[in-house]
């Protein structure tokens, strides 16, 4: 699993990327599959390795995720269930980190946690603008 193109992991050493890849498992979803459903418990953090998916938030707004994008972190951070539904719009390949590896992963890689905070802040500002 090559994670060098994932923006969230930009600038990380190959050794660290290899450690992250070992914690991930590759999951494939067919076009049209519901990858996550709003309100359900979150079992993992996912990075899109190949394909595209559509995120639908409660107010009906949608956005497209492509290779290098990620989702699922909010449910793992606040344990309040998925905040949005994600549907595969093409055949989709994701690298998934199970919830029990997520917190140790962030503690070991604070630069990733910081980038994740930046992305979540950006998403919040977008949501508030609607």
What is the distance between the alpha carbons of residues 98 and 3, in angstroms, rounded to a whole number?
A: 17
- With a cut of 90, say whether residue 3 has pLDDT above it: no
- Please tell me the pTM assigned to this model: 0.82
What gap in Å lies between CA 29 and CA 100, rounded to an integer?
22
Does 6 score more than 90 pLDDT?
A: no
Count of helix runs (H) and strand runs (E) in the chain: 4, 8
CATH number listed for the domain at residues 7-129: 2.60.120.10
Q: Is the pLDDT of residue 46 over 80?
A: yes
The 10s digit of each residue's pLDDT in 71-127 is: 888 877 777 777 788 999 999 999 998 888 888 888 888 888 888 888 888 878 877
E strands, the chain, in order: 25-29, 34-36, 44-50, 53-56, 62-65, 70-71, 85-88, 92-98
What per-residue confidence (pLDDT) applies to 93? 95
Residue 18 has pLDDT above 90, yes or no: no
pLDDT at 82: 78
Distance CA 9, CA 20 (A): 10
- What tokens appear for 62 in the block? 């949608």
Cα distances (angstroms) measured from residue 26 to each of 3, 11, 93, 100, 123:
12, 22, 7, 16, 26
What is the helix (H) or strand (E) element at residue 90, kind and residue range? none
Structure tokens at 46: 């996912």
Residue 19: pLDDT over 80: yes
Query: Which pLDDT belongs to residue 22?
Result: 87
């Amino acid at each position: 699993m090559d994670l060098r193109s994932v923006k969230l992991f930009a600038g990380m050493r190959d050794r660290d990327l290899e450690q992250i890849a070992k914690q991930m498992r590759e999951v494939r979803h067919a076009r049209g599959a519901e990858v996550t459903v709003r309100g359900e418990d979150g079992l993992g953090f996912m990075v899109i390795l190949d394909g595209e998916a559509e995120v639908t938030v409660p107010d009906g707004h949608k956005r497209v995720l492509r290779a290098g994008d990620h989702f699922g972190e909010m449910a793992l951070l606040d344990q309040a269930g998925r905040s949005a539904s994600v549907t595969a719009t093409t055949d989709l390949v994701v690298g998934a980190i199970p919830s029990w590896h997520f917190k140790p992963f962030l503690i070991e890689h604070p630069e990733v946690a910081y980038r994740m905070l930046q992305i979540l802040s950006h998403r919040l500002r977008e949501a508030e603008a609607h």
